[in-house]
Chains A and B, each alone.
Chain A
Amino acid sequence: MIPILAAVDPWILTFSLVTVIATMGMGFWSAGKSKTAGDFFVAGRSVSVGWNASAISGEYLSAASFMGVAGMVMSSGYDALWYPVCYACGYLFLLLFIAGPLRRFGAYTIPDFAEGRYDSTLFRKIAVIFVLFIGFFYTMPQMKGAGTTLAYIFKDVDLRGILPGSLLPHDAAGLATIGFPYWAGVVIVGAVITLNVALGGMKGITLVQAFQYWAKMFAISVPIFVLMSVYGGYGTHLAVNDNNPAVIQTIREPLPDKAPKNEAWISPFGPLTTKAATRAKITGEAARPYSLLYTYSLIIALVCGTAGLPHILVRFYTNPDGVAAKRTTMWVMILIGIFYIFPPIFGVLGRSLLPGLYLLTGSKGSDGIVLQLPKLVNDRIPLLGSILSGITCAGAFAAFMSTFSGLLVSMTGALAHDIYGRILNPQATARQRLIAFKVSAVAIGIVAVLLGTQVEQLQINFMVGQAFAIAAASYFPLLFMSVWWRGMTMKGAATGMLTGGLLALSGISLTSFSDLAALPNAGGFIKLFDLNSFWAAHPLFRILCEQPAIWTVPLAITLMIVVSKLTRNDIPADVRMKMLVLHAPESLGLKKEYIQEHAAH
């Protein structure tokens, strides 16, 4: 074991291990202090807006924000900026239309809200499935973040002779090489977090989540300030991307042929949004309308999706009232907005300083730029680079660990509480429920790890964007329409949510499967999805499947209106009272009245 560790940078290993141990330790410490869901929410009420906003931000900033955005800016340039901007600005829709009313209604989760708003336990059971769909799409990129980080930390380890060759990383010629296999990183991190959640650690406690935000903020900002002071600023490195020969290029390493050209990279409608048209051999001016369509659909998915993420909305109930919920949302926008200025800088500097990453794929490619870039400083100031790289590795651990465990807790809750406790075995004893929770956690953890091992070649940020697109077509229309339109019926809400959500899910799965099927070493059943000649012939269809929000969101809302009009006899009898609770200021005391009325039934 010792000769293996000798190949690892001690600073990076130490910082990473400290983060893992601290995160798990804090999880167990706080889990011991609050036993029930009730404790969690009551404890939250004593927390100020500032703490609560930090906690929501800490939960939100996942591997996609910490690693994926930088990697995507490096590989795709300008178009990738829509991701961080819409991740942050999506909260505005949440603030304007959903945060205050939902807090006043007092349902803890989206399934709770679905049940309460339509007095229907059936609808609750329907609504809960999207917690699982969105959750699995969100865990895949977290797993890729884990695999990428471990592959970087142990990149010089030689496992040849210890593991069989088929399990090791390969070079282009198919020979086993030194380095840590991607799948092993996914399995190790997935197993550790799953075990931790099953044993009861990692409950979503405000203090731990708030600490996570500040740790990630520190880890993304301090290394970039040092890098910019050593190698030149944000603007300087953007200025190099110019075809004008008068611009001095000395600060940049030579770009490989595989890297996008300056013009395509820095201008809008670059490689990311023109991909479908390029495959169809449509180039130049003719490709631009396709890019515009892709851009709009992406924006709609991200902005509407933020307002429909189940693991984020649950945190809004730790606010004491609707006004505090609004104030918290504004502070979240400020905290994550400041954070999102930094990852693109890593991408821009990475293009100048580490262009070699353009030649590599999977866990060795540009998704690891945040981890690798700071180490360059070692050439100028010995040791400092290792320390900074250790800090960004620690930030990456904080990002994928907190988000993966948060998702695992909410998905396990959905499976154990809603599907087992309410559908399969409503008479379960407390002990059976506890066992069900543990079994569900392990089952979901195993599925998440298996899915995670398959996605090495997909970009972290892209995958998270796909989870947003599903949320945008399912939960966002449900919440938005239920809060603002009295005429909604359960049947209308269910039809719109299911149709929009499932169509988005199908389109997205189809494109991701076919991308995986196109890889040279794809095998088995995934080969069935090789649709690439079809996509090349129909670029428009490809864009509408890959980024479906532009048609699924309006479709879901239209179906909700049409079906609700057709079934208007089913509008809940006390809808006026429900609407008052959603919209009237808390100081009128309507909430109390509503609960008494319900208890009397």
Chain B
Amino acid sequence: MNEASKVDIHSEEFLRQLMRRQLRLSIACAATFVVVLLGLPLANYFLPELMATRVAGFTLSWLILGVLFFPFVWAIAWFFIKRSIALEQEEAREAGGGDR
């Protein structure tokens, strides 16, 4: 192993911190997604008139689900990857293995 290790990567604290940081990021992204995903049926249920508003022939609900939902999810995925790669680099640097 690298002699210059600042953190013992086999220690309990390192693993705990590693998993906690990554899980926190994943859960934050998943929560954003789930709120919209599970919120849309609720909007359809409680606000049917609003969701039936016509926009260029589409109902609002159809436009959201059939078209706009995809770019929304791409944005979450892009944000997650950017943050998660940065996190990994940080972890590798802390553990002294980042220069490999």
Contacts and interface: CB of A to CB of B under 8 A. Distances in A.
Contact of A88 (B15, B54, B73): B73
Contact of A484 (B23, B76, B80): B23
A540 interface: no
Nearest to B27: A96
Q: How many B residues touch the partner, as a band?
A: 35 or more
Interface string B36-68: 011001001100100110101111011001110
A580 B74 contact: no
A267 B48 CA distance: 8
A169 B3 CA distance: 76
B18 A583 contact: yes
Contacts of B37: 89, 299, 303
A235 interface: yes
- Scoring B9, B15, B58, B89 by chain A CB atoms within 10 A of each residue's CB, the highest score goes to B15
Interface string A326-359: 1101100110011011001000000000000000
A85 B65 contact: yes
Interface stretch (A158-166, A193-201, A368-376, A587-595): A587-595
Interface stretch (A207-215, A288-296, A311-319, A488-496): A288-296
Interface in B5-26: 9-10, 12, 15, 18-19, 22-23, 26
A333 B97 contact: no
A79 to B, nearest CB: 10
A97 interface: yes
Contact of B73 (A78, A89, A580): A89
Contacts of A242: 54
A237 B48 CA distance: 21
Given A95-B77, A327-B81, A344-B66, A585 B61 contact: no
Contacts of A584: 9, 18, 91, 95
A269 B44 contact: yes
B95 A341 contact: no
Contacts, number: 142
A495 B60 CA distance: 44
Contact of B19 (A268, A341, A579, A587): A579
A92 interface: yes
A233 B100 CA distance: 54
B59 A329 contact: no
A236 to B, nearest CB: 6
Contacts of A526: none
Interface residues of A, number: 56
Contact of A330 (B56, B81, B89): B81
Contact of B33 (A92, A579, A583): A92
Tell me whether chain B's interface is mostly helix, strand or loop, or mixed.
helix
A579 B95 CA distance: 16
Contacts of B38: 296, 299
A562 interface: no
A235 B33 contact: no
Contact of A78 (B26, B61, B91): B61
Interface in A70-101: 78, 81-82, 85, 88-89, 91-93, 95-97, 100
A239 interface: yes
Contact of A337 (B44, B56, B70, B85): B70
A502 interface: no
A238 interface: yes
A579 B74 contact: no
Contacts of A266: 52, 59, 62
Contact of A323 (B74, B80, B88): B88
Contacts of B91: 584-585, 588
Interface string B67-96: 101100110111011001100110110010
A238 B55 CA distance: 10
A314 B69 CA distance: 27
Contact of B70 (A88, A233, A295, A583): A88
B41 A100 contact: no
Contact of A587 (B30, B56, B80, B100): B100
A245 to B, nearest CB: 15
A100 B84 contact: yes
A323 B85 contact: yes
B57 A92 contact: no
A47 to B, nearest CB: 19
Nearest to A576: B15
Contacts of A292: 41, 45
A95 B76 CA distance: 11
A97 B41 CA distance: 24
A234 interface: yes
Among B10, B66, B74, B84, which residue has the most Cβ atoms of chain A within 10 A? B66
Contacts of B23: 484
B92 A588 contact: yes
Given A81-B65, A95-B80, A340 B57 contact: no
15 contacts: A78-B65, A89-B73, A92-B33, A235-B56, A235-B57, A267-B52, A268-B48, A326-B80, A327-B81, A337-B70, A484-B19, A580-B10, A585-B88, A588-B9, A588-B91
Given A89-B37, A583-B22, 10 more contacts: A93-B30, A267-B44, A267-B59, A292-B41, A292-B45, A333-B73, A337-B74, A580-B9, A584-B91, A589-B100
